[in-house]
Structure 1
C-alpha cells in the first residue's frame, strides 16, 4: 500500500528550518550592520546621507531582487549549490569592502557580494522550508524569518563594538569570518525535501501572475520595503542627527530586532486560529502607526522623552516588520499553492527588492536636501499607508485555479450532472477515501476544481496529479475513527 508524503512536518524538516534560520541570521545581520559603520564611512569619504544610503539600497535591492533568478535556480538545482556559491560571494564581498578607497567601489563590492550573493540563497531558504511543512508551515516560516531578527539583535551591537575597537574596515573583516562560520554550520543542517510531482509549473505560474492577489502582494511589497528598508538604513544616523549618542542610536536597531522576533513568533502562532492573510494585513497596518510615532519624536526637545518615544517606534516597527516577513511564505503557499512556489516567491521578493532600492536613497537624499529628518519620515509614513490600502482588499481564500496543489482545495462550483462517480484507493488505510463527486466539502487530496467538474472522458489538460496529505494524529484522534473522508475543514484553517 502506498504511503503519504511522510516528510511533511517531520523532525528533519524542523532541523532544516533551524539551519535556514542560521543562514538568514548571518545574511541579514551582516547587511544591517552596515548602519553601524555608515557614519564613519561618510566621514572618511566626505559624503552626506544620500551617497552612503545608496550602498545599502543597492545591496538590499540585489538581496531581494535576485530572487527572480534564484527561485528558478532552486527549482532546478536545489539549495546546496546556491548556499555554497552565495555564501562565498557574501563573505568575499564583506572582506573586499574593507579594502575600498573610493565609495563607488562599495556600490559594486558590497552590493554585488552581499546583495546578489545573499540573494542566491535567501528566498530559496523560505521556499525550501515551505516544502517541508503542511500543518505547521506558518510556525516553520516564522522560525526562518526569526533569523533576520536575531541577526539584527546580535550583529548590530557586535558591529558597534568592532567599530570602536578595529574601525569600520577591521569590523567588516571580522564579520566576514563570523558569517563564514555560520554558513558552514547551516550547510550541514539543511536538506531539500523529497520531490513531489505536482503538474505543469509553468502553466500554473502563468495563471498566478494574472491574478489580482498576486499583484496586490507584489505592489504592496514594493511600498512595504520602501518604508521599512528605508527606515532600517537611516534610523541610526537619523537618531544621531537628532541628538542621541551613537550607542543609544545603535540600540534602536537592536530593539527593532528583538521586537521583530516577538512579532514573528506571536503572529505565526496565531496563524491557525486567525488566518495568515488576516494577520499579514494587520502587521502591515502597524507601519503607518510606527511612522506617526517616529515623526512625533522630531517635535520633542527633551532627550529622555525623545528616546522613550523612539523605543516605542522601534518596537511597533519591529513587530509589524517581523510579522509581515514571517507570514509572507505561508500566505504565498496558501493563496497560490505549492506548484512553482520558488518561482512565485522569487517574483514577490523581486518586487520587494525594487522598493528596497528606492527607500534608503529616497530618505537619505531627502534629508540632505531639506537639512532635517522630519520630511523623509513623513514620506515613509505616507508610503506605508498607501501599501495598506493596496493590500487590504486581497482575498483570504486560495485561488480557484485548475492547477492549484496544496493542503487545502480552493472553492469551486458544484459538480455538473454529467460528472461520473469517482472512487480512489486510499493512501492511508481507513482514513483517506475518495467519495463519489456530490455537493459536499471536498476531500483532502482531491484532483482540484476542473478535474471533478468534467466527465471522466474529458482531457484534464490543466489538472495536476493527486497529492495526498498525511493526517495529523490530533485530527485522527478528534474524529474517533468516524467514517467518511477527511475534509478540507479538518485540515485547513480560516485564512
Structure 2
C-alpha cells in the first residue's frame, strides 16, 4: 500500500506526453480563434458585413466555449477526459470545412459557435485540469508549457492563414485548414489518459490534501470576476491587431507577422509565467503580468515605428500570456483535484465571456469612431479594473491567513 501510494505521488513520465498532446490540440484550437482576425476583412469585403458584425464571430466561439465548458468540466470531473480530444478533432475539422462553404452571417456565427462548443471548450479547461494534476513537482511549469500551445497556435496559424488567403482565397484556406486539423489532431487524441492523482480522488473517498485559507467557492468567485476584465483587455488586440495594422497601410503578411511575433513572445510568457508561479506564487505572478498587459495594450494605436511596434508586441505578448498561465496556476493551486475541471471551466466561462465581449466592443467602438484609439483605451481601462480586483483578492487572502494564525495562537476557551 505504501509503495503504491509512493508511486502515485511521483510525477509519471507520461505526464510530459500529455503536455505535448494538449499543447498541440490547444495550438490548433486557439490558432483558429486568432485566425478570425485575418478572415475579418476579406469576409467583411465580400459579404458587406460591418467590423462589429464580423467580430461577433469571435464572440460566438468565446461564448459557446464558456457555456459548454461548464458542461464538459462537470463531465470531466465525474468521468474523465479520455475521449474529449477525439470528439474535438472531428468537430473542429467539420466546422472549418463548413465555414469554407458559408454564404450568410448566420452560418458564420453558427459554425464558429459549434467550433467553440465541441472543439475549443473540450481541449482547453478540462484537459488543462487533467495535465495540472499529473504533476506534484512544478505544476506551474507544466501548465505554462501546455498553455504555451495556445500562444504558439495564435502566432503560426493566423500567419499561415494570411498567406493562404493571399494565394488561394478565404474559402480554400478554410478547407486546407480543416484537412490539416484532421491529420494532426485526430491521431494524437487517442493517447489522452487521465491523471492518476485525479483517478485516485474520483474513485475513492480519500479527502484531497488542500491547504488554502479561503473556501473553494470563494476562490472561484474571486478569479472569475477578475478574468472578465483581464480578458476584456487582452481580447481587443487578439481580434483587432491585424485590422488595425492593415488600416494603417500594412500588408496582411506584414500585419500577421507582428501578431506572430506577439504570440511567440506569448509562448515564452506562458512558460515563464507558469514557472514564476512556482517560485513566487500564482497570485503575485498574475498581478505582475496584469500590470504589464494593462500598460502595453494602450499604446498599439499610437505606435507607427515598425521596430517599436515589434517591441510593443513582444512586451504585450509576454505579459498577456503570463496572465493566461497565472489564471491556470491559481486555480490549480487553490482548489482540490476533485473540483479541478469544474473550477477551471467556471473561471474559463467568465474568461471566455470577457473575451467575447471585449472582441465585440473593440469592433463596435471602431464602427462608432472610425479608428481603434477608443477600442484600445477601453482595453487598458478593463485591465485596470482587473488589477483592483486582484489587489482586493490578495488583501482578502492576507487577512484570512492572519485571522487563522491568531486562532491557532489563541484557541477558543484557552486561558489568558
TM-score normalized with structure 1 length:
0.75
Q: Which moved more, 1:259-268 or 1:132-141?
A: 259-268
Q: Which residue of 1 aligns with 2:276?
A: 270
State the Cα deviation string for residues 443-489 of structure 1 (Å, max 9, x = none): xxxxxxxxxxxxxxxxxxxxxxxxxxxxxxxxxxxxxxxxxxxxxxx
1:104, distance to aligned residue in structure 2 (A):
1.8
Aligned 8 A contact 1:75 1:342 in 2: yes
Task: Output the aligned Cα RMSD.
Answer: 2.6
Q: Distance in 2 between matches of 1:413 and 1:182?
A: 55
| Distance change in 2, residues 1:414/1:64 (3 Å) | same
Q: Note if contact 2:140-2:277 (Cα within 8 Å) is conserved in structure 1.
A: yes
- Equivalent residue in structure 1 for 2:55, among 53, 56, 70: 53
Considering Cα pairs closer than 8 Å and 6+ residues apart, tell me whether 1 or 2 has the greater RCO.
2
Stretches of structure 2 lacking an aligned partner (at least 5 in a row): none
Aligned pairs for 1:30-429 (under 5 A) are: 30-194=32-196, 195-197=199-201, 208=215, 210-211=217-218, 213-297=219-303, 303=304, 305=305, 307-395=306-394, 413-414=407-408
SS in 2 for 1:165: helix
State the Cα distance separating 1:398 from its structure 2 match: 8.0
Secondary structure of the corresponding residue to residue 194 of structure 2: coil
Q: Write the distance in 2 (CA, Å) between the matches of 1:412 and 1:142.
A: 36
Kindly state the Cα deviation for residue 113 of structure 1 after the two structures are TM-superposed: 2.5
1:477 is matched with which residue? none
SS of the residue corresponding to residue 318 of structure 1 reads helix
* CA offsets 1:274-327 (integer angstroms, 9 cap, x no match): 222211110111122112322432xxxxx5x2x233223211221112111122
1:253-293 deviations in Å (ceiling 9; x for gaps): 10111110111122223333322221111011112211232
Asked whether the 8 Å contact 2:298–2:379 carries over to 1, the reply is no
Question: How far has the Cα of 1:91 moved from its partner?
Answer: 1.2
Alpha-carbon shift at residue 184 of structure 1 (Å): 2.2
In the alignment, the residues of structure 1 paired with residue 331 and residue 398 of structure 2 have an alpha-carbon distance, to the nearest angstrom, of: 11
Larger CA deviation: 257-266 vs 328-337:
328-337
Distance 2:329 2:58 in 1: 28
**Matched residue SS, 2:7:** coil
Q: How far apart in 1 are the matches of 2:142 and 2:405?
A: 26
1:493 paired residue number: none
Query: Are residues 115 and 243 of structure 1, via their aligned partners in 2, closer, same or farther at CA, if it must alter by over 3 Å?
Result: farther
Deviation at 1:11, TM superposition (A): 0.7
Measured in 1, the distance between the counterparts of 2:397 and 2:143 equals 18
SS at structure 2 position matched to 1:80: coil
Residue 300 of structure 1 corresponds to which residue in structure 2?
none
Gaps of 5+ in 1: 298-302, 402-409, 419-495
Mapped to 2, the partners of 1:294 and 1:380 lie a distance apart of 11
Whole-Å separation in 2 of the counterparts to 1:376 and 1:72: 36
Aligned to 2:2: 2
Structure holding more helix per residue: 2
1:315/1:97 CA distance change after superposition, 3 Å: same
Deviations 1:45-72 (A, max 9, x none): 1122111101111112222442211111
Q: Distance between the aligned counterparts of 2:288 and 2:89, measured in 1?
A: 34
Other structure's SS at 1:392 match: helix
Per-residue deviation at 1:359?
Answer: 0.9
1:394-440 residue CA offsets vs partner (Å, 9 max, x unmatched):
23998999xxxxxxxx979439999xxxxxxxxxxxxxxxxxxxxxx
The number of residues matched between the two structures is: 399
Equivalent residues of 1:150, 1:257 under 8 A apart: yes
| Residues in 2 aligned to 1:235 and 1:411: alpha-carbon distance in whole angstroms | 48
User: Aligned partners of 2:228, 2:284: CA distance in 1, in Å?
Assistant: 19
CA deviations 1:114-156 (Å, max 9, x no partner) are: 4443212311111001110111200110111010111123212
Distance 1:153 1:281, change over 3 A: same
C-alpha change, 1:114 and 1:179, in structure 2 (3 Å) is: farther
Mark the structure with the bigger radius of gyration: 1
